[in-house]
Amino acid sequence: MPEAPSILDGVRERFASSTDFTVGLEEEHQLLDPSTMALVQRFEDVFDSAPAGLRPHLAGELITSEIEYKTSPHASFAGAARELAEGRLAVIRHAESLGIATAITGCHPFSPWQDQRIIDTPHYERVAGELGYIAWINNTWSQHIHVGLRDADRAIRVCTAMRSVLPEILALSANSAVYLGRLTRLHSTRTSLFTRSFPRCGIPDPLMDFDEYADFVRLLERTGSIVESTQIWWSIRPHHDFGTIEVRIADGQTDLVEGLGILALSLALVARFAEAYDAGEPLPAHPGRLLEENLWRAQRHGIGGKMIDFATGEERSTGDAVRALLDFTAPVHDRLGLGPFLAAVPVMLDQGNGAQRQIRAMESGEDLVAMHAQAAERTRRSAEEALEMMGTVSNA
């Protein structure tokens, strides 16, 4: 009898034929009632009626009050960034034509998870059927970046190195400080709802080559733990279909200029680690127990806290930790055209990120509905500003 197809079939070959530092970007939108700013169950309406040019870029996520926009693969970050900005505005316009508002934050500030419906697809029915409550409460929104990397062993080593900087990326992106109508005292509540509750999620163990990764995947497949590779929800993972590594740690970003800064930093780190690997330089492979300390600090305090510098064993401000990443990646900024996008990162460190704005609004007594309406407006306006930054005039 021929062997049954495996999740790993063709993966090495796809990485062997991948192109370094190609980029694909993804972000997830909340579908909202424009009067109440509550979540509405309208995914099918939005997807089924989408214009021909938009629909191939849309995908369902776990719940029917959410829709994802995915760019095409691009040779440059700037090309992917432009498409993401244009795609965000296209989603907003299309949703508005159906009487639906949209916004992006890491979690919705007040709509109860009990009111949401799981999307009708085999994948998400399987997720909900297996995980139950853990899936039901996962009302979260994020942004992802896929980066092409040649050679599967190299991709695994870069994934291992990226583990060490995921807490800084999370801290910078923290944008979910309000949930079920109150401040949670977490800057990234999304991390609690998804990253720390789903199986095979969060920061994985260090892996030294593709064979070690493949042995683990075969074990999961053989024991019936997974039936598809996307059931490995790690915050950094090799993507079997595309020959990319996918950075998945960040909260969804209301402000697209800030979001592009976070994505550009993620790309810069992947590229810098890949080039260090090529040069024979040592790459970090810190144990999970250390990274968990910084991940908690990122979840709890965002960019307003401190992190452990594992090189010195001492604390430093999270802002300084992020600035160190900018310095570390400086050799690749110009070559990848990242400078204009990375300019948003120091501004965030100085003026605050999404979570800090949410906390200030709540502490000042701002109405939740008005606050989320402002998030919806910022979701739109920042996409226009991103296009203006890139020298493109928006027709929105």
- What's the pLDDT tens digit per position in 291-316? 999 999 999 999 999 999 999 999 99
The answer to whether residue 326 is domain-embedded is yes
The answer to whether residue 284 is domain-embedded is yes
Residue 16's contacts (CB-CB under 8 Å, 6 or more residues apart) are 150, 151, 152, 243
CA 178-184-189 angle, to 5 degrees, is: 70
Q: Can you tell me the mean pLDDT for 33-38?
A: 98
Structure tokens at 318: 């999270």
The answer to whether residue 4 is domain-embedded is no
Q: Can you tell me the mean pLDDT for 38-65?
A: 97
> Cα–Cα distance between 146 and 238 in angstroms, integer?
9
| CA atoms within 13 A of residue 17's CA, in its CB half-sphere | 7
One-letter amino acid of 55 = R
pLDDT-derived band at 395, boundaries 50, 70, 90:
very low
Structure tokens at 276: 């260090």
Give me the CATH number covering residue 19: 3.30.590.20
pLDDT of residue 246: 98
Q: What is the pTM of this model?
A: 0.96
In the predicted structure, residue 367 carries a pLDDT above the cut 90: yes
The answer to whether residue 79 is domain-embedded is yes
CA 110-352-78 angle, to 5 degrees, is: 95
pLDDT-derived band at 3, boundaries 50, 70, 90:
low
CA 68-74-80 angle, to 5 degrees, is: 50
Percent of the chain with pLDDT over 70: 98
- What's the pLDDT tens digit per position in 133-148? 999 999 999 999 999 9
The answer to whether residue 294 is domain-embedded is yes
pLDDT-derived band at 4, boundaries 50, 70, 90:
low
> Cα–Cα distance between 315 and 334 in angstroms, integer?
31
Q: Buried (b) or exposed (e) across 303-321, using 16+ Cβ within 10 A? A: bbbbbbeeeeeeeeebbeb
pLDDT-derived band at 348, boundaries 50, 70, 90:
very high
Burial environment of residue 206 by CB neighbours within 10 A (0 to 12, 13 to 18, 19 or more): buried
Structure tokens at 84: 């993401």
Q: What is the mean pLDDT of the chain?
A: 96
The answer to whether residue 5 is domain-embedded is no
pLDDT of residue 396: 35
pLDDT of residue 393: 37
- What's the pLDDT tens digit per position in 312-341? 999 999 999 999 999 999 999 999 999 999
Q: Look up the domain containing 26 and give its range.
A: 11-389
> Cα–Cα distance between 103 and 30 in angstroms, integer?
5
The answer to whether residue 395 is domain-embedded is no
Sign of the torsion angle spanned by Cα atoms 115, 121, 122, 127: negative
The answer to whether residue 23 is domain-embedded is yes
Q: Can you tell me the mean pLDDT for 32-47?
A: 98
In the predicted structure, residue 2 carries a pLDDT above the cut 80: no
- What's the pLDDT tens digit per position in 84-142? 999 999 999 999 999 999 999 999 999 999 999 999 988 899 999 999 999 999 999 99
Q: Can you tell me the mean pLDDT for 230-259?
A: 98
List the beta bridge partners of residue 201.
Answer: 233
List the beta bridge partners of residue 318.
Answer: none
pLDDT of residue 5: 80
Alpha carbon distances (Å) from 230 to 76, 165, 207, 215, 331: 25, 22, 18, 16, 33
> Cα–Cα distance between 50 and 46 in angstroms, integer?
6
- Which helix (H) or strand (E) segment holds residue 237: the answer is strand 236-239
In the chain, how many domains are there? Answer: 1
